Amino acid sequence: MNANLFSRLFDTVTDPDRLAIETADGGRISYGNLIERSGRLANYLAARGVKVGDRVAVQAEKSVQALVLYLATVRAGAVYLPLNTAYTLNELDYFIGDAEPALVVCDPARLEGVSALAGKVGAVVETLDAAGGGTLSVGAARCDADFSTVQRSPDDLAAILYTSGTTGRSKGAMLSHDNLASNSLTLVDYWRFTDKDVLIHALPIYHTHGLFVASNVVLFARAAMIFLPKFDPNQVIDLMARATVLMGVPTFYTRLLQNPRLDRETTARMRLFVSGSAPLLADTHREWAARTGHAVLERYGMTETNMNTSNPYDGDRVPGAVGLPLPGVTVRVTEPETGKVLPADEIGVIEVKGPNVFKGYWRMPEKTRTEFRDDGFFITGDLGKIDGRGYVHILGRGKDLVISGGFNVYPKEVESEIDAMPGVVESAVIGVPHADFGEGVTAVVVADKAAGLTEDRVIKALDGRLAKFKMPKRVLFVDTLPRNTMGKIQKNVLRDSYAELYVKAQ
Ligand code: AMP
């Protein structure tokens, strides 16, 4: 058997006319079309000198052709390396230098700058624009559609995805054919995907969520997806009339809730709403259930591991929890320094093991060694606990832990108390350098103006609900919290903004 992800996805297609992708402008791409187009492109990649194991780095707007490029790269036995469209040339310089791709694909507007960078590592350059045009597509159109999918073993690399890296250099997570295939097949089963499903695909495809979770799950299930260039709440609500599943980041759900058209009727045909990549507030979960009658299914994963846990399809979808370990995945919580496994309800670092876990960081063997335990568990860096029912709860990234006066303060504990106050929209709790305490617990809050909340009122309300050492020393009000494109609050940005807070005060 060929363990190439492409073979596992497409070798058993029996109905090539079945619809795989529909575009916002009415384009319809069948499974047969995907096989044919990826064949032409794989032949073109080979003609451009891409060999088995070579990296193909891609910074392109979302389009069907960009997805076909992913499939063609994997099919050709090369390693797909998607790059966030927001990266500047300066940032691309690092990724291209580090990954040494054989081919770089970029937007035509970037050709000159990218060519200079690619030249340094001897890579060739092709262009791909938002409409799927460019030199890559012109070249592929001249090639034969027949391509014999390259033989790969389960552990051979299919993709490298750089982690967002808020501290230090981004690291390239090496993902194998079996990492991707096994996780998607598990999710098809767990989330009950069938060929009747139609997914609203409004996520970017340079990130694990939109590229692997959404696209691979749909293709393995022989389902269809409506491929949208970006998330537009009105358009998504329109599409709910003929779709069955939405996969989103929490901001999709908060923005949809702001839309008066969202109700039981507009969501009646949908069978599943999935959220991940950042924490979904328990309040958002409850509000969504009250408005639509659907319980959002929250799951937890990361670039390095694909998906680890998910709330159940049947059974309790617990607000604020990320659910149970997926079949085949083992999750445990340990004491960070010693690796001692902790009992239920104790907070520590989350570790995972399973066929979903990556092969290590690209050209960083030392870093890889320190992130794995001797028995093969990957140390995620997320702090959390497992409750008595086996549900995993995340309390934030380890590096966001606040240590004040020698005590650990888990931001989520403080945030949950603040978020529960009337008038609070959301909050972020950070540690800011403080001469006496090491770090001062600091709350940054978004509130409804009409509620008239003040720093004093928040602190008074928390008094008696939180231990003294967890109490925020300052509560600051802002209009919005800084977020990255996947909806994650950028606490590092907040820490930088308020770095001088307690210095000034003294
Ligand atoms: P990324 O590699 O960009 O997908 O980011 C992975 C990180 O996002 C994880 O390590 C978590 O810190 C966070 N994350 C993903 N899903 C969730 C979730 N459902 N709840 C809370 N945090 C999440």
For position 505, what pLDDT does the model report? 52
For position 167, what pLDDT does the model report? 55
Q: Is the CB of 492 under 6 A from ligand 1?
A: no
Residue nearest to atom 5 of ligand 1 (CA): 302
Q: Is the CB of 322 under 6 A from ligand 1?
A: yes
Residue in 351, 488, 491 to alter for ligand 1 test, most ligand atoms within 8 A of Cβ: 488
Residue nearest to atom 21 of ligand 1 (CA): 279
Instruction: Please provide the DSSP assignment of 47-115 as one string.
Output: HTT--TT-EEEEE--S-HHHHHHHHHHHHTT-EEEE--TT--HHHHHHHHHHH--SEEEE-GGGHHHHH
Q: Is the CB of 382 under 6 A from ligand 1?
A: yes
Q: Is the CB of 163 under 6 A from ligand 1?
A: yes
Computed over every residue of the chain, the mean pLDDT equals 96
330, amino acid identity: T
For position 10, what pLDDT does the model report? 98
Q: How many helices (H) and strands (E) does the chain have?
A: 17, 24
Question: pLDDT-based confidence at 141, cuts 50/70/90?
Answer: very high
Q: Is the CB of 298 under 6 A from ligand 1?
A: yes
Rounded CA-CA distance 132/128 in Å is 6
> What is the percent of the chain where pLDDT is above 70?
99
Give distance in angstroms: CA of 210 to centre of ligand 1.
14
Q: Is the CB of 162 under 6 A from ligand 1?
A: no
> For 209-256, how does the pLDDT look when each residue is reduced to its tens digit (9 = 90+)?
999 999 999 999 999 999 999 999 999 999 999 999 999 999 999 999
Give distance in angstroms: CA of 291 to centre of ligand 1.
26
Question: pLDDT-based confidence at 407, cuts 50/70/90?
Answer: confident
pTM of the model: 0.93
Q: Is the CB of 250 under 6 A from ligand 1?
A: no
Q: Is the CB of 278 under 6 A from ligand 1?
A: yes
What is the radius of gyration, based on Cα positions, of the chain? 23
Q: Is the CB of 397 under 6 A from ligand 1?
A: yes
Classify residue 189 by burial, with Cβ atoms within 10 Å: 0-12, 13-18, 19+. Answer: middle
Q: Is 441 helix (H, G, I), strand (E, B) or coil?
A: strand
Q: Is the CB of 384 under 6 A from ligand 1?
A: no
Atom of ligand 1 nearest to the CA of 161: 2
The mean per-residue pLDDT over the stretch 303-332 comes to 98
pLDDT at 405 over 90: no
Q: Is the CB of 44 under 6 A from ligand 1?
A: no
For position 166, what pLDDT does the model report? 55
Count of residues for the chain? 506
Atom of ligand 1 nearest to the CA of 397: 12
Give distance in angstroms: CA of 119 to centre of ligand 1.
35
For position 12, what pLDDT does the model report? 97
Rounded CA-CA distance 399/441 in Å is 14
Count of alpha carbons within 13 angstroms of residue 7, beta-carbon side: 16
173, amino acid identity: A
Residue in 206, 309, 394, 489 to alter for ligand 1 test, most ligand atoms within 8 A of Cβ: 394
Residue nearest to atom 1 of ligand 1 (CA): 302
